[in-house]
Each structure stands twice: as structure tokens, then as C-alpha cells.
């Protein structure tokens, strides 16, 4: 590794020694920026790397709320406002017991480059809480969301920071958060949150956007080898928002999705998940809030709480659950079983050694910050529609999403070619995302 880059990375580790997943994200980006840092000395001269790894601001706060027995529970809330060189901070809120400042710094850091790739004017941020929505009543989730907003409202706004959903934060939670925001501030805030309901300011296609966008990205990668999605066997992990709509788009394009999972286990349906089975999953996960095992019981297919679906033979893999869910052994198994393309619906789902295996074996590998950028892209389009107080049709938003995913692919592909690693989307996406932010930071002076 270049000594300047190594020095920046070591500084990150020394400052926050316990934040391993954040270190992992920083290392992955810094390593791939090496050719750009060498080619353009202006970034080193302006200490861009030292500045870009440091969040502009982190807000941490207490969230007390009442459970169903009237007992006061306390969770921890965060908002990491990472980089606003390109626009207001933009990024989701995650509710999951594993949420820590380090996890949100990793996600916020990734978000800077992802948002830059979308072509829309958005900075990078991320937030959330160690609150676990699993097993909670609607009233408990509402009480929690209200309490979170009592603090968060003062830090957000259409020109400041616009949060959205992520793991554990879907339409229900955005509704409660938005209701609380309005009650506290007495105004709609034009666009203070994205992922709103379609009847009260949300964009059509926002729920679908990350999953659809991921499949559009994979389509573009496949095109570079004269292939398409039709007839491909696909393995998807997770069964939440991203996994559901990635599955829907695969079905629409004539591919066969044979697996889905949740944090308890995974199902294998060799006949493929069709539209009717997907409707069952959406009801199970979004309405009844049940476990994926019930699908296996209902449709009489295999279920396992051991191992992972990455042991299955498939042409396309779409990891869409969480970070570090594909280890090196699993990446090797996918390669040995003939996988052609991997599109990351989740953020950083593949461990670094797994990424190496995909790259060495010339697998079409679309890293999360490019492949899952469809969600934040349509969030950006939701902001645009809110600003003009006028809404686009489903077809219009979907066409814009498709065009953005094609442009992200083209940008990452051509950038990889320009820097001598044609088809390496890790390098292409990182450098392309970085250059736009870094140039903005240089232009805006040294205090940015
Ligand atoms: P959801 O909460 O809707 O679904 C998450 C899914 O992943 C669930 O099936 C969940 O299972 C599973 N999961 C979560 N944590 C773990 C874990 N530690 N181990 C195994 N399985 C787990 O979230 P989303 O679909 O929105 O998000 C999925 C991924 O996509 C995340 O990495 C997120 O950051 C990323 N992403 C999401 C975007 C969006 O628009 N929603 C945009 C870009 C990226 P269970 O129900 O058992 O918890």
C-alpha cells in the first residue's frame, strides 16, 4: 500500500480502535483509490483523504420510551453527518440491536461515494439506534419513533439532512417518524424524510427502488458479456425490502429465484419463487412480521437454520441482508458452483477475502455502493418531486431509476478502464464516487 494511504488508514484505526467494520470500509475504499491519488497530486496537497475519513459531525442521544407494561426503556440514537460537499446529508436510519457508532460510520462513509455516483446532489450520512423492532407492538414502535424524533428534528431538514429507511425502518417507522416531526415543528418540512407513503409525499417506486436497481445493475454487468437475466437461476439473501423487490424484478425478467433467508435461516425452493409465492412472503414479512421458516412449512420446501444459501448452485447471487454475510469459503463455493454475477443489494455483504476471490476469478462483481444505489437515487427523486410539489408516474420514476443505474454502471466501468483495471467495479465505483466529492472539497476550500 502507498505510504500516504497507509498513514491515513493507520490514523483511522488509532483514533477509534474498536470500530472494525468501519476500518474495513475505509481500507477497501482507500486501497482502491491509490491510482487516483498518484495521478492527481492535488488531493494529497489538500489533505483530502485525512478530511474525507472524518465525519463532519456525529450526534449521539438518549431515546427513552415506554413499553407495553408501562416500563421506561432506554436506547441509544445516532446521526452521523459525514460529508455535505455535494448536498444535504442523505442516508437511512437503521434500527437493529447491532447498531453502534462504528457500524453507522461504516454505512455513512460508504454513503458518501454511493450518493456521489447517483448523479444527484446529495451528501452522505447515516443514523439509527440499537432498538430492536422485532417482537414489539405497533404502539411500542410508535412510542420509540416519537422519542427519537424529539431529538432528531433539530438536526434535520430539506437543506441540512434528509434521513430515510434501512434495516428495521420501513414504511411504518417512516410514518411514525414523520408524524412526530410534524407534531413537533408544525410544518411539513417539504422533504425532511424520504420513503414516505405515496399518499402523503412519497415517491412511487421508492419501496421497489433498491431491489429493482440492483437487478438493473446486474443486467448491465451481464450485457458486457453478451448475457441477460432471462433463464438465470438466482440466489437472494434476506427477505426484507431489498430482497423482496430484487426477487420481483428477477421474476419480471424471466429469472428463477430459488432461495431467500432471514436472520434465523434460509429456504430453498428449486421450482422458483413465482409472483404468488412472493405475495405470500410480502404478507408474511411486512404484515404478519413472521419468520421465513413459515414459507418452507407452507410450500413444503427445504428450510435450514445452518449454513447459508451461498452453497446452492446459481448463475446470479444477490446478497441483500446485511454486512459481512458472505465469507471467503462461501464466495469460493459460489465460484466453484459457476456463479457468473454477484450484485450486492446489501451494504458490504462480502468480506474482503471474498471480494478478492470474486475479482481473481473474473466474476462480474457489483459492490453495494454501486449496485444498491437505486434506493437513495429514488429518495433523491422524492426530494425533487417534493420541491416541485408535483409527482411523476410509476413509469416515469422507474425509467429515471433505470437510467441512473445504467449511468452508474457506465461510470464505474469506464473509470475502471481508465485506471487500467477494466471490469473491476470496486475500483471503478470507488474512484468515480471519490473524484466528484474530492473535487467539490478542493473547490470549496480547506475548512470543508
Ligand atoms: P429489512 O429490515 O427490510 O430486511 C433485512 C433482511 O435482512 C431481513 O430479512 C433480516 O432478517 C435480514 N438480516 C438483518 N440483519 C441480519 C443479520 N445480522 N444476519 C442475517 N440476516 C439479517 O432491510 P433492507 O432490506 O432495507 O436492508 C437490507 C440491506 O440492504 C442492508 O444492508 C441495507 O443497509 C441495504 N440497503 C437498503 C436500502 C433500502 O432502500 N432499504 C438501500 C441500500 C442498501 P430478520 O427479519 O430476521 O432480521
Q: Name residue, grid cell 467495479.
A: 425
| 424 within ligand 1 shell (Cβ under 6 A) | no
Ligand 1 centroid–CA 325 distance in Å is: 11
Give the other-Cβ count within 10 Å of 18's Cβ: 9
Contact between 416 and 425 (Cβ < 8 Å):
yes
Q: How many Cα atoms occupy the beta-carbon half-sphere of 314 within 13 Å?
A: 32
Q: What is the mean pLDDT of the chain?
A: 97
Q: Residue 216: pLDDT above 80?
A: yes
What is the reported pLDDT for 195?
97
HSE toward the beta carbon, residue 41, CA cutoff 13 A: 1
Out of 167, 169, 294, mutate this one to test ligand 1's pocket (max ligand atoms within 8 Å of CB): namely 167
**What's the pTM?**
0.97
The burial class, CB within 10 Å (0-12 / 13-18 / 19+), for 140 is middle
Beta carbon of 238 within 6 Å of any ligand 1 atom: yes
Residue from 364, 363, 329, 370 nearest 348 by CA = 370
pLDDT in tens, 222-245: 999 999 999 999 999 999 999 999
pLDDT band at 163 (very low <50, low <70, confident <90, very high): very high
| Helix, strand, or coil (residue 356) | helix
Beta-bridged to residue 234, according to DSSP, are 257, 316
Let me know if 10 is exposed, middle or buried by CB neighbors in 10 A (0-12, 13-18, 19+): exposed
Catalytic-role residue among 105, 114, 126, 369 = 126
Residue 36, C-beta contacts closer than 8 angstroms, at least 6 positions apart:
43, 419, 431, 434, 435
Protein residue closest via CA to atom 40 of ligand 1: 375
Contact 320, 236 (CB under 8 A): yes
Residue listed under C-alpha cell 440499537 = 130
> 299 near 278, Cβ under 8 Å?
no
Looking from the CA of residue 242, the nearest atom of ligand 1 is: 25
* pLDDT at position 384 over 80: yes
Q: What is the pLDDT of residue 188?
A: 80
Give the model confidence (pLDDT) of 188-207 as tens digits: 877 999 999 999 999 999 99
All structural domains of the chain: 1-54 (no CATH), 55-188 (3.40.50.10860), 209-371 (3.40.50.720)
Give pLDDT, residue 308.
96
Query: How far does the centroid of ligand 1 lie from the alpha carbon of residue 388, in Å?
Result: 31
C-beta of 85 in contact with ligand 1 (< 6 A): no
- For residue 310 the three cell numbers come to 451461498
> So what's the pLDDT on residue 259?
98
Cα–Cα distance between 421 and 365 in angstroms, integer? Answer: 13
Q: How confident is the model at residue 1 (pLDDT cuts 50, 70, 90)?
A: confident
DSSP-derived 3-state class of residue 80: strand
Q: Is the dihedral of CA 150, 96, 164, 280 positive or negative?
A: negative
Q: What is the Å distance from ligand 1's center to 131 Cα? A: 15
Residue 126 known to be catalytic: yes
**CA 34 to ligand 1 center in whole angstroms:** 31
What is the arithmetic mean of pLDDT over 253-279? 98
Q: Whole-angstrom Cα distance, residue 428 to residue 425?
A: 5
Q: If we measure between CA atoms, which residue out of 313, 332, 344, 337 comes closest to residue 408? A: 344
The mean pLDDT of 35-64, rounded to a whole number, is 98
pLDDT one-digit tens code per residue, 298-347: 999 999 999 999 999 999 999 999 999 999 999 999 999 999 999 999 99
% residues pLDDT > 90 (the chain): 99
Amino acid at each position: 500500500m502507498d505510504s500516504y494511504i497507509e498513514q491515513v488508514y493507520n490514523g483511522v484505526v488509532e483514533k477509534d480502535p474498536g470500530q472494525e467494520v468501519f476500518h474495513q470500509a475505509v481500507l477497501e475504499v482507500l486501497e482502491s483509490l491509490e491510482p487516483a491519488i498518484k495521478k492527481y497530486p492535488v488531493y494529497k496537497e489538500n489533505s483530502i483523504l485525512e478530511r474525507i475519513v472524518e465525519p463532519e459531525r456525529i450526534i449521539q442521544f438518549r431515546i427513552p420510551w415506554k413499553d407495553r407494561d408501562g416500563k421506561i426503556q432506554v436506547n441509544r440514537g445516532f446521526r452521523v453527518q459525514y460529508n455535505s460537499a455535494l448536498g444535504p446529508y442523505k442516508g437511512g436510519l437503521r434500527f437493529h440491536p447491532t447498531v453502534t457508532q462504528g457500524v453507522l460510520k461504516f454505512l455513512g462513509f460508504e454513503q458518501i461515494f454511493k450518493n456521489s455516483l447517483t448523479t444527484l446532489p446529495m451528501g452522505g450520512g447515516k443514523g439509527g439506534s440499537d432498538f430492536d423492532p422485532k417482537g414489539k407492538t405497533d404502539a411500542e414502535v410508535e412510542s420509540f419513533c416519537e422519542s427519537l424524533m424529539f431529538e432528531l428534528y433539530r438536526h434535520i431538514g430539506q437543506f441540512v439532512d434528509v434521513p430515510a429507511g434501512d434495516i428495521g425502518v420501513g414504511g411504518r417507522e417512516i410514518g411514525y417518524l414523520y408524524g412526530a416531526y410534524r407534531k413537533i415543528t408544525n410544518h411539513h418540512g417539504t422533504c425532511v424524510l424520504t420513503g414516505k407513503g405515496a399518499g402523503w409525499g412519497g415517491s412511487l417506486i421508492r419501496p421497489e427502488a433498491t431491489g429493482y436497481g440492483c437487478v438493473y445493475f446486474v443486467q448491465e454487468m451481464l450485457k458486457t458479456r453478451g448475457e441477460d437475466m432471462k433463464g438465470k437461476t438466482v440466489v437472494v439473501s434476506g427477505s426484507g425490502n431489498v430482497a423482496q423487490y430484487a426477487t420481483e424484478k428477477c421474476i419480471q425478467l424471466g429469472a428463477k429465484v430459488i432461495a431467500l433467508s432471514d436472520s434465523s435461516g434460509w429456504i430453498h425452493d428449486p421450482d422458483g419463487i413465482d409472483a404468488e409465492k412472493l405475495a405470500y412472503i410480502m404478507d408474511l414479512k411486512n404484515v404478519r412480521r413472521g419468520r421465513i421458516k413459515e414459507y418452507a412449512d407452507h410450500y413444503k420446501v427445504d428450510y435450514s437454520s445452518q449454513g447459508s444459501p451461498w452453497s446452492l448452485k446459481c448463475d446470479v447471487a444477490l446478497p441483500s441482508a446485511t454486512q459481512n454475510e458472505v465469507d471467503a469459503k462461501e464466495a469460493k463455493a459460489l465460484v466453484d458452483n459457476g456463479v457468473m454475477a454477484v450484485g450486492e443489494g446489501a451494504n458490504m455483504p462480502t468480506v474482503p477475502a471474498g471480494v478478492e476471490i470474486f475479482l481473481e476469478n473474473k466474476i462480474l462483481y457489483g459492490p453495494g455502493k454501486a449496485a444498491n444505489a437505486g434506493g437513495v437515487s429514488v429518495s433523491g427523486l422524492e426530494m425533487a418531486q417534493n420541491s416541485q410539489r408535483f409527482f411523476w408516474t410509476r413509469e416515469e420514476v422507474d425509467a429515471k431509476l433505470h437510467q441512473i443505474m445504467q449511468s452508474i454502471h457506465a461510470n464505474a466501468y469506464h473509470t475502471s478502464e481508465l485506471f487500467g483495471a477494466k471490469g473491476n467495479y470496486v475500483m471503478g465505483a470507488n474512484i468515480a464516487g471519490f473524484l466528484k466529492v474530492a473535487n467539490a472539497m478542493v473547490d470549496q476550500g480547506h475548512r470543508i
